[in-house]
Chains A and B, each alone.
Chain A
Amino acid sequence: MSGSFSSNAMASKAKAMYGKRLKETDYQELLRRRSVNEIAAYLKNETGYRDILTGINEHSIHRGHLEMLIRQRFFLIFLQLIRYGDTAKSSFYKYGIYLIEIKQILVTIRAFNDKDRSTQIAQMPIFAGKYTSFDLEKLVVATDYDQLLEVLKNTVYYEALKPYRPKSNDDFDYTVCEVALKAVYYQQVNAIIEKEFSGDIKKQMKEIFNTQIELDNVTKIYRLKKYYKASPEEIEKVLNPTFERIPKKKLIEWIETCDAETFLQRVSESAYKNYIDDKNFVFIEYHTDAIHYNLNKHIIRFSSNPDLILVAFLGLLEIEIQNIIDIIEGVRYNVEIDKISKLLIY
């Protein structure tokens, strides 16, 4: 039991923050707002987003700025919570940084051929710069794979990406890079968990991250089947060989025998059945996120381990932020309230 006084404080703080999450009435109110400014005003005046939005001019805030501030809140809360955490586990708390780094590398790879890098610049989390293992700002000037590798030199990503160095900029395989980077992430997290935790906590922590891997696999399988009509062999090649709630044998069988919809049906009847909500199909990420949401909620309610609570709370916060972004985008593109509402997980 890692029950030091300070880490218990982290658990209390996380639970208190969880108490201030957006509730159903908040979502209903947000859905009623018909402009980005009204959404900003509601978040600023009525919710826990008050802190990050204080000082903005809600009457004329730029949508992109609002989204960025909301996303930034995730990182600020993460930093705020780990201050209360167990300093001995500081390497564990890096798992959030890995996610940021991987995302920025993938954005850079996608932008190689773009003349205009303004979107990348705009969304770059410069505030996280002092925690990352490489200089984020240098990514903006990397216009090909070699330059990217140069920036990533001396990081764990260098070795992972090096084998996939393309002959030309037009030749590289984005999916392979994504799989490789995700593999790095899980390896790193796994290594940290092995090192930092033991016993039951270690088991539960692994369960959380392995479930993430498994759900990633589920998404991949569904997409490859539905949109790329990929063969079972092609699918198996890109999967991360980690299995948590669905046994390997069963998953392979489903890959080989089911089409996309049947596959999803099988998943919903599997060990995940208690975590899938009863909404009709929206899109695959909705279901995997809903499973995440319910798993994390379960942990927050029943676990007393501060680190588990931290991971679960951050997982829930990420979903909440995605909900708000969905509402903002919905309003921006005049999507009907019912349709936006279906995307929300709460």
Chain B
Amino acid sequence: MAIEKMRLLRLAGSKENIEKILLTAFSTRDLHAELASHVVNDGNGGELLPEDSTYADYLNRIESIIRSLHSELMCTFDGVTTFTNDEIEAYLTQVENNYEKINETLMNQSSLTKEDKDALTKLREFNIDALNHTKYTAVNFGRLPISSLSKLPLHDEKRYAATILSKNNHYAWVFYVTLNENKTEVAKLFDSLFYEPIAIPKVDEKQLVFDCESVLGKIYGYVKHCADLRKYYKYIALFDKTAVITGFVPQRRVKKYKTMFGEMTDVVIQDFPAGLEEGLEPPTVLRNNWFAQPFELFVEMYGLPHYGEFDPTFYVSVTYALLFGIMFGDLGQGFLLVVIGWFLYRKSKGKLWGIVHRIGFSSMIFGTLYGSVFGNEELLNPMYQALGFESKPIHVMEPEFTMPLLGAAIALGAILILLSMTINIVLQFKRKNYGDALFSQNGIAGWIFYGSILFGVALQMGLKINVANPFTIGLFLIVPLVIILFRVPLKNLIAKLQVKPHEGWVGYLIESFFELFEVILSFMTNSMSFLRVGGFVMSHAGMMIVVTVLEGMTGKFGIVTLIIGNLFVIGLEGLIVGIQTLRLEYYEMFSRYFEGGGKKYVPTNMQN
């Protein structure tokens, strides 16, 4: 039930050694690095490392070619081989030139069918480069309709040699060679047979793709490594020739973190208390016990507390489990929640399932008190009788139990509201906000007003003692209300500021009067809001009665009805109760003592 202690670390090293410092600093998930722009200011003489997009541009060029080639080139860096920018530029230019040729070839082939391309693959066996550089002969490649193939022998023409590369029902893919001097006549002959020539590619694009890949493979890993490294330059502040990384590390991991720099003698690590530097808010890590830990989810959803402040997770976990258990009390269904929550939490590590697991226990406890097991209200009676009771302690559906149940719900709500106000008072004192601690509706004034009403009502209803008289009303109700009404001037008085509100007395009083009216109203509505706790106790029992009745009506399929009914109630009502409890947490309790607005701890890591 706390917020993890942090230390502010400043890693300083030689500018020439930046790469090594970065790789070491961000090799583990410990350091929450602060942007250099937050560290550098006019007073400290620091500078930001200039933006360098050279490698990012190289990387874009490489990846764009890889995408265009549909290549599955793996990016690996051996950590040793390096290249100068001129070398990288030369390699890239070579690859881009090759890519242009490949692209041109592929464009020319865009209208070809798969079968044309298959035939082209066979043509490659003749060495495309050689075919493009014949001196005395002319070569041609194309489709000849099958019907024309049988007509080829009808021509008394022997000045060419042809070979069939492939065939289907419609075409034969033919490659023919003739002497340069005969090429016009032979071309005419083939044309008369409806020959459809296909351009022989100027280059063997498959070989070129292979060449491109092998060149890119050399530099890809190195360029990516450099480009990635430069993404972290934003965390480096320069002080003369010293590069400085500033960040927060959890106190318990600082020692181990520092040892990583053991061999780097030129790196100096300065270790400060987390809140030392103004303007650098330490990040918040919630750290809670086994039971409360998953409930951090609800706190984070609302907003993290500032570093060093009160972590409400434990309070949330207890009150949430309590309220859920009351509203969804069933020994059997609670047990199911425990099992399902446990199983899914183990599988997915989702905090919500951890919560389900824990509130399942609460549901089991209240289910035992209600004597309810999967909607069966009688099953636990023998146990209670064995323990010496006449029957189960709480009869949810008995008519005479309804009013006490609702009353208890409001009482529970009132206690939780008072508890939340108490937490707020303590926190405000800790923050030295004495005005808020004493005079606000969630401070001592509000506490006395609300507490007095509750105390009076309790005495009146419980012990039949009437404590309402002009003195008590004046002291415990009117005075606190007046204090709340004048809270701003009173706060000013304590803070030794001008007492008169800046909008003037009349304006202030008009505005405050309506606010006071709202405060009184909200005390009432917030208390009434807890009526839902009692309501859901009855609604749960009611739904289970329906399931039991249906079970009886469906005869031998009763067990199926019981299972489906229970699953339905767990799914539907469990979800609704879960949401309503969260609503009570956020609206009726958090709003009284919790602000949020803390900074999340996000360790900077080269791998993420």
Asked if B168 contacts A55 (CB within 8 A), the reply is: yes
Starting from the known contacts A60-B198, A62-B195, 17 additional A-B residue pairs (CB-CB under 8 Å) come to: A54-B170, A60-B143, A60-B196, A62-B191, A64-B192, A65-B196, A118-B155, A118-B192, A118-B193, A121-B151, A121-B154, A121-B155, A121-B192, A122-B148, A122-B192, A124-B154, A126-B151
Chain A CB within 8 A of B145 CB: yes
25 A-B contacts (beta carbon < 8 Å): A55-B168, A55-B171, A57-B111, A57-B112, A57-B143, A57-B171, A57-B196, A60-B143, A60-B198, A62-B191, A62-B194, A62-B196, A64-B194, A65-B145, A65-B196, A68-B147, A69-B145, A118-B155, A118-B193, A119-B192, A121-B154, A121-B155, A122-B151, A122-B194, A124-B154
* 6 A-B pairs with least C-beta separation: A65-B194, A118-B192, A55-B170, A62-B194, A59-B111, A64-B194
Q: How far is the CB of A309 from chain B (nearest CB, A)?
A: 29
Chain A CB within 8 A of B478 CB: no
A118 and B194 contact, Cβ closer than 8 Å, known pairs A55-B169, A56-B170, A127-B147: no
Asked if A126 contacts B195 (CB within 8 A), the reply is: no
Which of under 10, 10 to 19, 20 to 34, or 35 or more describes the interface residues of B? 20 to 34
Residue of A nearest to B192 (CB): A118
Contacts of A122 in B (CB 8 A): 148, 151, 192-194
Asked if A118 contacts B189 (CB within 8 A), the reply is: yes
Main secondary structure on chain A at its contact with chain B?
helix
Contacts of A121 in B (CB 8 A): 151, 154-155, 192-193
Give the distance in Å from the alpha carbon of A122 to the alpha carbon of B143 in the complex.
15
Q: Which chain A residues (132-158) contact chain B, with CB distance < 8 Å?
A: 137, 140
Chain A CB within 8 A of B188 CB: yes
Q: How far is the CB of B348 from chain A (nearest CB, A)?
A: 51
Q: How far is the CB of A167 from chain B (nearest CB, A)?
A: 27
Q: How far is the CB of A188 from chain B (nearest CB, A)?
A: 28
Chain A CB within 8 A of B113 CB: yes
Chain B CB within 8 A of A61 CB: yes
Q: How far is the CB of A52 from chain B (nearest CB, A)?
A: 10
Give the distance in Å from the alpha carbon of A118 to the alpha carbon of B148 in the complex.
11
B residues in contact (CB < 8 Å) with A: 111-113, 116, 143, 145, 147-148, 150-151, 154-155, 168-171, 188-189, 191-196, 198
State the interface size on chain A (CB cutoff 8 A): 22
Contacts of B170 in A (CB 8 A): 54-56
Give the distance in Å from the alpha carbon of A137 to the alpha carbon of B150 in the complex.
10
Residue of B nearest to A62 (CB): B194
Q: How far is the CB of A319 from chain B (nearest CB, A)?
A: 24
Q: How far is the CB of B270 from chain A (nearest CB, A)?
A: 71
Contacts of A126 in B (CB 8 A): 147, 150-151
Contacts of A69 in B (CB 8 A): 145
Contacts of A55 in B (CB 8 A): 168-171
Give the distance in Å from the alpha carbon of A54 to the alpha carbon of B170 in the complex.
8
Residue of B nearest to A140 (CB): B154
Give the distance in Å from the alpha carbon of A122 to the alpha carbon of B147 in the complex.
9
Asked if A57 contacts B116 (CB within 8 A), the reply is: yes
**Residue in A65, A72, A127 whose Cβ sees the most chain B Cβ within 10 Å:** A65
Give the distance in Å from the alpha carbon of A159 to the alpha carbon of B169 in the complex.
40
Give the distance in Å from the alpha carbon of A127 to the alpha carbon of B194 in the complex.
16
Contact indicator per residue, chain A 291-329, by CB within 8 Å of chain B (1) or not (0): 000000000000000000000000000000000000000
Contacts of B155 in A (CB 8 A): 118, 121
Q: How far is the CB of A117 from chain B (nearest CB, A)?
A: 8
Contacts of B148 in A (CB 8 A): 65, 122
Residue of A nearest to B188 (CB): A118
Q: How far is the CB of A38 from chain B (nearest CB, A)?
A: 13
